[in-house]
Each structure stands twice: as C-alpha cells, then as structure tokens.
Amino acid sequence: ERLMFRALLWKEWRQLALVRWGGIALGAVLPIAFLTGAELAQRGWLPTGAVKTYAPRDLMYEALPLALAFALWPLIGLMSAAQSFAGDRAVGTESFLLERPVARGSVWRARLLASFGTLVAVIVVTAALAAAAAALTGAPLPGSGRSQWLMHASLGLGTGLLALLGGLVAASLLSSPLGAVLLGAVLAAVPVILAAQLSTVFLMARIDDIPLGVVVPALLLPAYIASSWLASCRGEPSGRGRVRRAVTFLVGTLAGVLVLFAVSVPFVMRINAAIRQHSVIRSPRGGGAFVVADSYYEGGGGWLVDVATARKLTFVPPPVRVGAFSPNGAEVAV
C-alpha cells in the first residue's frame, strides 16, 4: 500500500509540472513587467496615463509582493487543486483509476499532497526571485522593506492556502478544471466575506484585539477538507451523489457557524469587558457602583455592582462610553 501511495503521489506530482513551471515563469516575469510598464508610463506610451517619475525600489518592495500575495499565489492554489482533483475526471481516466485495487482515500491524499506541494514550491521559488529582484534595486526605506515583505508573505501564504481549499472543494464536485477554478474562487471568498461582515457589523464581539467574527468563520476551512473527502471517498466509486453529500455538509457547517457566532457573542462581550482596565462610578447614596471596562473600541461593557457583596447585578453591553447615576442613586444612565 505504501508503494502504491508513492506511485500515486509521483503521478499527481508529474501531472502538476505545467502548473508549477508556469507559476514560476510568471513570478520571474513579474519584476520585468512592472519595470517595463513603469518605464512606458513615464514616456507616455500607455493609454492609462503617464507618470513623471518612478522608483524601481518602490515597485520591487511594494507592488511586486502584493501581486504575488493576492494574484499569483491564489491563482496557483486554485489551478493546482483543480488540475489535480478534476484533471483525471475531465479526460475520463478517473474511472479507470478507481477500478484498480487502490483505496479512494489514498488517491485523495496523494492529490492533496501533490497540489499542496506544488503551491509551496511556487511560493518558495517566486518569493526568492522577488527578493533577489528587490535586493538588486537597493536597500529598502526605513520603516518598510523587510517587515512589509514578511507581512505580505504571511498574507500571501494565507490567500494561497485559502484558494487551494476552495479549489479542493470545487474540483471534488465538478468535472471541468476551468469550472473548478471559477467555483473555487467563489468558495475561497466566502470565509473572507463572512469574516469581514461579522467583524464589521458586530464590532464589540471581540476578545481583546481579536474579533469573534474572524475566528468563527475560520471553522469553514476544515469543513472544506471534510466536504472534499466526503465527495471523493464516500458513496459509490462512480461518484453518484457526491455533490449532494458535499453541499449538504457545507450548508450545515455554514448554518452551524452562524448559530455558534450568535450564541458566543454575549459570552465574548463579558470576557472582553473583564480583561480591560476599568473605571468605577460610585452611587451617590452608596451601596452600589457602576463598573465600566475601558476599551479602545468605542467603549467597553459595564456592570452594575452591589458594593457590599461584590455581586454583579446587571451587565450593560457595549458600547458604554459614559456612565452616570441620578442624584438620588436610584437610576444609572449610559
């Protein structure tokens, strides 16, 4: 079985050679393309407009890393997953492969490792080429350069892996590699859009500086892997019902993520209010106090507290910017 898995892995790795070399070639051409475009724009030969001057160092330290992190690496992630998981199905050889005495789980793992290895190889080589191109333009400006490179590399690794997972699910459902690339881009964008919406609309749902709206949607990522495994390794070898299994699991996971977020918000608000510094507003008649959590995010939550017993009576959800008792101490306004 181990020899069979190695043979499968080598087969998938060879089939992705064109994706690897194509990604590396694009990464090698990008620095030249940026410099050529800037030079043409300076001479006024581009219809998009002209620039008076440009600095090659700025292009190599700023524009090039962004192009790699948010364009090339996600594209390679989508293409490697689509070609690996949908390529055999598109040319009609997958049925022949599944008729051999090999477990479908071994085929799925070989495809996953080959596509992941392809993405990593492209990231490492193109990042090295871009770093060399940047170094040839001179040292970075103070406050930029290496730190920006590390930040862009981290973001690019995340976007590449996210694109790989989206393509993984799409290619497990569709027979066309091109269709898998398009659907994979949509699926990869779902956790990002959901995280942006939840963290923006529910700004106070955070623990310290970590928004709950970013943490909870991350649970969709392992669901992508599980749904691909359900589609490829369960049911009939012919693949009948794989779309229904995967889509049902994904929809259920998405609904569970939303329910988990809604249930967790009240607890997270209390936790966040507890770890901040606090301001105490005493009642004029004594016996009570209003304790407000100082927060950098439009004010934290607060508690109405019985001073004698130190018992929390009522939690006031954020934002609480200012609190004040009435003159007789019977009411509190926020």
pLDDT digits (tens, 9 = 90+) for 167-179: 999 998 888 889 9
C-alpha–C-alpha distance, residues 331 and 334, integer Å: 10
SS3 210: strand
User: 58: Cβ–Cβ under 8 A, 6 or more apart, which residues?
Assistant: none
Instruction: Give the pLDDT confidence score for residue 106 in this predicted structure.
Output: 86
Query: Where are any strands of DSSP class E within the chain?
Result: 206-207, 210-211, 278-282, 288-293, 302-306, 311-316, 324-325, 332-333
Instruction: Give the pLDDT confidence score for residue 1 in this predicted structure.
Output: 66
pTM of the model: 0.84
Instruction: Give the pLDDT confidence score for residue 51 in this predicted structure.
Output: 64
Q: How far is CA 271 from CA 202, 207, 268, 315, 319, in A?
A: 15, 7, 5, 12, 14
Instruction: Give the pLDDT confidence score for residue 48 in this predicted structure.
Output: 62
Q: How far is CA 174 from CA 13, 86, 184, in A?
A: 21, 7, 10
Instruction: Give the pLDDT confidence score for residue 155 in this predicted structure.
Output: 87
The stretches in the chain having pLDDT less than 50 are none
* pLDDT tens, position by position, 135-191: 887 766 665 556 777 787 888 899 999 999 999 999 988 888 899 999 999 999 999
Half-sphere exposure of 232 (CA within 13 A, CB side): 31
